[in-house]
Structure 1
Amino acid sequence: MMKVNGLYAEEIPRVKTISKKDFIENYVKPQKPLVIEELTKDWDAYDKWNLDYIAEVTGDKTVPLFDDRPASSEYKFNEPHAKMKMEEYIHLLKNEPTNYRIFLYSLLKEVPSLQNDFSYPDIGLKFLKQLPFLFFGGEDSKVFMHYDIDYANIMHFHFHGKKRCLIYPPSESKYLYKVPHALISREDIDFSNPDLEKWPALKKAKGFVADLSHGEALYMPEGYWHYMHYKTAGFSMSLRSIPKKPKHLAKAAYNVFVMRHYDNLMRKLKGQAWIDYKDEMAYKKTHQKNKLPF
């Protein structure tokens, strides 16, 4: 275990390739993360997928954009902050700093030809073939610490440049200042440079870290928290497989059918006061659980 920006994090194991049996027995069943360096080597995407190519084949598509503004009552769950033509957005990524990101966008559905550039890995997970999502970010842009609503097993492939992934298993939630009725930690925590005097519970959290390069794949088990830091402009694709543990399936169902609708209703009824209340409770409950002053 080493320290990354003052946080305890273990380097995620790496393999060049792995058999289906070894992957299931040693990583999926025990729910341990893994980087597979050459899983995409036989894909056309390995040679083709860069920002110029994406601009060429998707440039006329209008895409939803998110920035790093904190949650507010103004926006619903996963509602974009802006929209832009893809060719304009990629020009922005390549030429100047920007906090605008593409998050959970089904560009592959919008541009079916992209689906010819990759195949679903035969690695023992049954991937949901209607849900490959793409994510884009500019140099030094960051994705706040969160976990996914469906508690899926995720295979996360990175292209064009480098990206740092800091992840935590669900067992570490009690240290991460989880916001109630949400899938995020406090958004005012900078996990690239955390203030451990202000957020002391983070000192107890034990996570994992990996720096992904072009074509590498990160396996994130069910319900893992993840914080993404684009070291350069680039993009990633995630493939998802439904959770295998019954308790995680139950949590996914609650998140999808109850939690997000309740949160949107309370935002509508109480406005910013609801957001502020949740942030306050994230701090208070975390410190109560860890016997820290608040």
Structure 2
Amino acid sequence: TRGRTNAGPGGRSAGMRQVYAYGCSFGALAEVARAGAGPRRAVCDLGLLMRAVLGNVLARLVRTLQPHLPARRQRRTPRQGSARTPRIAPGTRLAPPPEEMIPHLRCPSLEHFRDNYLIPQRPVVLEGVMDHWPCMKKWSVDYFCQVAGCRTVPVELGARYTDEEWSQQLMTVSDFIRQYIVDENNVGYLAQHQLFDQIPELKEDISIPDYCCLGEGEEDDITINAWFGPGGTISPLHQDPQQNFLAQVFGRKYIRLCSPRDSENLYPHESQILHNTSQVDVEDPDLVKFPNFTKAAFQSCILMPGQILFIPVKYWHYVRSLELSFSVSFWWS
């Protein structure tokens, strides 16, 4: 997981979740009988977020109701180029260590990727792999409002999850877009680990990269995540316990990577909840407090739409959105 784990009831017993699923399904059906459009979809989403499967009855119920729900469109144009970069006080910090560019490769064969990048655990930017995905032509802010605007999702509030004011809140996709995409005065990020299971219409627009077949698990073991937010949002330098393909659908992201061999130079937090996150502000490092940070070797890239970055397991990565962007990540073993 990424730094602070998403707060939620995933650890509840299967029995409790099943009871909750029954309650959600009965509640949604009761709202349908009363012709109440709002609560029924919210009840379904809460059940889905609880991972209350119940034979996928809630997902099927939402899909049946979806065509009958009113589509919403944003009346204001969302910001496209705002990049709220961290403020750096002149003269208070030394320059961060130099970095090398991550290599780019166009549609390598499975064997070439396995032998030259997966086995030796080397990052690479893959091009041409996702050109055929429907999302590359379909996805936009208006499309999300049409397909998922009424759906309730968890949203991260704040520029980065290590900030004290960082929090999470449930809201509809339309409310998120209005408050955190259109309105430039707020900072929020839709970082969703269940979005594609919750909204199958979006999952149909993407494909699992073929290179994931080189892993040890089954396709059902692959975790697909959504990352949607404005420019200036940041994922602090952190590491994840699985291989990662980060696919950029629209917008650009600045990314810096560092090998796990340099972990001791990156000063991970000592607390258990943030043990996979560095204490160092990558673009504004305090080298008096963290002097060994200069010994760490970095690679970087600006991930463009249509590109996929391979981030090897346990590789440290820092991500800053340069503008309104949507990424999809695939975690696999």
**What TM-score do the two structures reach when normalised by structure 2?**
0.64
Paired residue type of 2:291: P
Higher Cα Rg: structure 1 or 2?
2
C-alpha separation in 1, matches of 2:235 and 2:121: 23
SS of match in other structure, 1:18: coil
| CA 69–240 in structure 1, closer or farther in 2 if over 3 Å, else same | closer
C-alpha separation in 1, matches of 2:121 and 2:316: 13
- What corresponds to 1:142 in structure 2? 234
C-alpha separation in 2, matches of 1:10 and 1:113: 39
CA shift digits 1:164-191 (9 cap, x unpaired): 11111111110111112321111xx322
C-alpha separation in 2, matches of 1:24 and 1:35: 14
Given that 2:153 and 2:192 are in contact with CA atoms closer than 8 Å, whether structure 1 keeps it comes out as no
CA shift digits 1:145-176 (9 cap, x unpaired): 1112xx11111101221101111111111011
Q: 1:221 and 2:221 equivalent? A: no
C-alpha separation in 2, matches of 1:192 and 1:128: 36
SS of match in other structure, 1:101: strand
Match for 1:192 among 283, 286, 297?
283
The Cα of 1:235 is off from its aligned counterpart by: 1.5
- What corresponds to 1:28 in structure 2? 118
C-alpha separation in 2, matches of 1:36 and 1:98: 33
C-alpha separation in 2, matches of 1:8 and 1:128: 38
Paired residue type of 1:209: S
Identity, % of aligned positions: 28
SS of match in other structure, 1:21: helix
C-alpha separation in 1, matches of 2:219 and 2:288: 42
Q: 1:64 and 2:151 equivalent? A: no
Structure 2 unaligned spans of 5+: 1-94
SS of match in other structure, 1:117: coil
C-alpha separation in 1, matches of 2:151 and 2:171: 8
Given that 1:98 and 1:141 are in contact with CA atoms closer than 8 Å, whether structure 2 keeps it comes out as no
Match for 2:256 among 137, 141, 166?
166
SS of match in other structure, 2:188: coil
**What TM-score do the two structures reach when normalised by structure 1?**
0.72
Q: 1:81 and 2:174 equivalent? A: no
Q: 1:99 and 2:181 equivalent? A: no
| CA 141–8 in structure 1, closer or farther in 2 if over 3 Å, else same | same
- What corresponds to 1:274 in structure 2? none
C-alpha separation in 1, matches of 2:281 and 2:98: 15
SS of match in other structure, 1:223: coil
- What corresponds to 2:214 in structure 1? 125
